[in-house]
Chain A
Amino acid sequence: MERKIGVYVCECGPNIAEKVDIDKVVGAVSSLDGVVVVEKYKLLCSADGKKFLEEEIKKHGITHLVIAACSPKQHEKTFMEVCENAGINPYLYQLANIREQCAWITEDKDEATKKAIRLIKAAIGRVKYHSSLEKKEIECNPAVLIIGGGVAGINASLELASPDRKIYLVEKTSSLGGMITNFEKTYPSMQPSSHILKQKILDMDKNENIQVFIDSNVEEIIGFFGNFEIKVKKKEVDEPAEFEVGAVMLATGSNFFDLKKTPQYGYEKFDNIFTALEFEKMNLSGEISLKNGKTPRSVAIIHCVGRDEKGYCSEICCMYSLKFIRYLKDKIPDAQVSNFYSDLCIPGKSYQKFYEQTKGKNVDFIRSTNVEVTKKENKLSIKYIDENGNKNSLLVDMVILAPAIEPTSDVSELAEIAGISQGDGGFFAEEHEKLNPVSTSTDGVYIVGCAQGPKNISDTIVQSGAAAGKILASLIPGKKMEIEVKTSHISESFCIGCKVCISVCSYGAITFDEAKKISVVNEVICRGCGNCVAACPSGAATSKHFTFKQIHQELLEAVK
């Protein structure tokens, strides 16, 4: 078929027209091989502009389209739609960015004009080598697997479950609720934590679209976004349960720092030293007491336990330590409570107020380093260096340690099963710290709550809602899912079976065909980065829409 290239240069109002001599540009590219029409237009992205383009494509029988306008980040998709409406494949088009990366950054008009010509010539050269690519859609399963039955998993289950979306919640312990079930109250409202959970767990029980597996672990997750196959093993049951889902959410929570690594705090060596969790449980049982049954008159809360060892602040320890002061004051109003801290982390709109309301009579905050706990007669002695560098000590009846939050012991195993990576502190790694904090490097696998990093209950709920939202927006019951078209492809005849591509792929998108001894791209999983293409020593791998020939054409113009 004869190639007919149409080139349309956008003036973008005054944005391009003032900085680039558009008539000169039009003149310079009109007689190029394959170009049948070159026109300028005042604003191509406007409704009139799009209509104009559509008519032009039809009128001139244009087969390949070049638009010279703004950045592809702005309007690449706009003109792809125009192509579709005009009946040409949207990949037979190239956008030359003569606004952001030419008109707006070049001082001299002549220079800008020359550069615009170069960029348009590169686009014309490139578009000749474009191939039609077909939109690909796959059937997807709207069901979701949620691992972890704490507040994050429960919240997400309830957000997601509906008659056309089944939820499978897998919890490794024998009951739902997670960490919060140990808490009498939550900060800063000091409302009973049962307020948060009780009703939700009842709702879970009633909801027939949620299937809960307790005492169970996920053994296998294979497949890709939209179509994962899951195996779940219940303790003391031989046969694993098998089912299919479209997305996976890891809400596996966290663990506490191992106090054996910080012997200076005397944990398990002396009586009446408790971890934060042990203290929560003691408080929940109704009575705060020493081992001998007596009521403590003085209590030390040591913050930041394990912070130096872990290398990060666990965000929530200061606030729950303040909550512990409230617990103590409720039950033993005249108790003396001393907090040993290195930095107080009380951010946000309500925490400072909580702190102000908590400090007061018989409550001390001592900024200290080198804290050590020893036994002195029947009391515990806290030795420390204060803010002024002086050595000091204090005798107390009871010590509460606030240890760092760390990933659960099975985090590596779960990361492996779900095909995601671990990041800072060993927590599951998010796709992007700011832009995609609940997505991971594997499409369709989400991380929420403390499994992603230490956080409080509110932030945990926010994340589980965010991940639920992402799933609701992308896995729509009855709708097919559009997948990346610009994937890699490996030529059967050129592949030498060296498997280098398999070793560099971050997504496990390439498998080895043992019968043919060649590598094969699973285009459903491939995200189209092109790493395998650069790594392939035999030239068998290509990136669709970013082929060597296409980039080479741009190169040729760039060096002229």
Chain B
Amino acid sequence: MTKETEKFEPRIVGFLCNWCSYAGADLAGTSKLKIPSSLTPIRVMCSSRIDPVLVTTAFLHGADGVLIAGCHPGDCHYDKGNYYARRRFAVLKKVIEGLGLESDRLRLSWVSASEGQRFAEVINEFNEKIKKMGPNPIKVKTSL
């Protein structure tokens, strides 16, 4: 059983807003920081574009974790988009619990374009957490 967990390589979907967090992730790259390969970044223009259906779909398809990252409060390129993302995130946490998932599999973080280091910290920490939590139980069920 322990061996199984050790081998477990999560699949993490990262919805990154174009202006802050995607640029922050790029900076982590130019700074040659270590980012787990479990992350697949998906660029969106604003964190407010992240449709709750997209997040639930990601989990239903078997994502082990979903990260939503946007501009810091007050810094949104589109004025208030990140505040909408935050409200939807709060509701989504409840929704995914309803799906039988731990709400910690969904994470919201603010990462600015200059915070490459912070992006690396956020994703590494999240990756470790998801590793400890193990595979998405819905994915396990559907594969049975």
Contact = CB atoms under 8 A, between A and B. Distances in A.
B105 interface: no
A105 B48 contact: no
A100 B30 contact: yes
A104 B79 contact: no
Contacts of A138: none
Interface string A102-131: 101111100110110011001000000000
B136 to A, nearest CB: 9
B132 interface: no
A182 interface: no
Interface in B47-91: 48-54, 57-58, 61-63, 75, 77-81, 84, 88
B37 A112 contact: yes
B58 to A, nearest CB: 5
A559 B45 contact: no
Chain B CB count within 10 A is highest, among A72, A122, A559, for A559
Given A529-B49, A533-B49, A552-B57, A558 B32 contact: no
A93 to B, nearest CB: 14
Contact of A558 (B13, B46, B50): B13
A344 B93 CA distance: 49
B41 A504 contact: no
B130 interface: no
Interface string A490-519: 000000000000001011000000000000
Contact of B42 (A100, A530, A531, A554): A554
Contacts of A104: 29-30, 32
Contact of B88 (A97, A421, A534): A534
A555 B13 contact: yes
Given A72-B43, A551-B54, A558-B40, A107 B34 contact: yes
A427 B88 CA distance: 30
A529 B29 contact: no
A118 B50 CA distance: 21
Nearest to A541: B51
B25 interface: yes
B33 interface: yes
A480 to B, nearest CB: 24
B37 A535 contact: no
Contact of B49 (A71, A506, A546): A546
Chain A CB count within 10 A is highest, among B33, B43, B61, for B43
A530 B26 contact: no
A99 B40 contact: no
Interface string A521-560: 0000001111101110000000100101001101111111
B101 interface: no
Q: How large is the interface on B (under 10, 10 to 19, 20 to 34, 35 or more residues)?
A: 35 or more
A546 B45 contact: yes
A390 to B, nearest CB: 42
Nearest to B52: A534
Contact of A559 (B11, B41, B75): B11
Chain B CB count within 10 A is highest, among A107, A122, A527, A555, for A555
B108 interface: no
Interface string A82-100: 0000000000000001011
A441 B80 CA distance: 10
Contacts of A71: 22, 26, 29
Contact of A531 (B30, B41, B81): B81
Contact of B78 (A506, A552, A557): A506
B23 interface: yes
A464 B26 CA distance: 34
Contacts of B28: 100, 105
A195 to B, nearest CB: 40
Given A486-B45, A557-B40, A558-B42, A548 B29 contact: no
B48 A531 contact: yes
A72 B41 CA distance: 13
A532 B22 CA distance: 21
A97 B40 CA distance: 11
B44 interface: yes
Given A504-B48, A546-B45, 17 more contacts: A71-B26, A71-B29, A100-B26, A101-B35, A105-B29, A105-B34, A106-B37, A122-B40, A506-B78, A530-B46, A534-B48, A548-B51, A555-B54, A555-B63, A556-B61, A558-B40, A558-B58
30 contacts: A73-B23, A99-B29, A100-B29, A101-B29, A101-B35, A104-B30, A105-B33, A118-B40, A119-B40, A122-B40, A504-B48, A507-B79, A527-B78, A529-B45, A529-B46, A529-B77, A530-B45, A530-B48, A530-B49, A531-B48, A531-B84, A534-B48, A534-B49, A548-B54, A551-B42, A551-B44, A554-B42, A555-B61, A558-B42, A559-B11
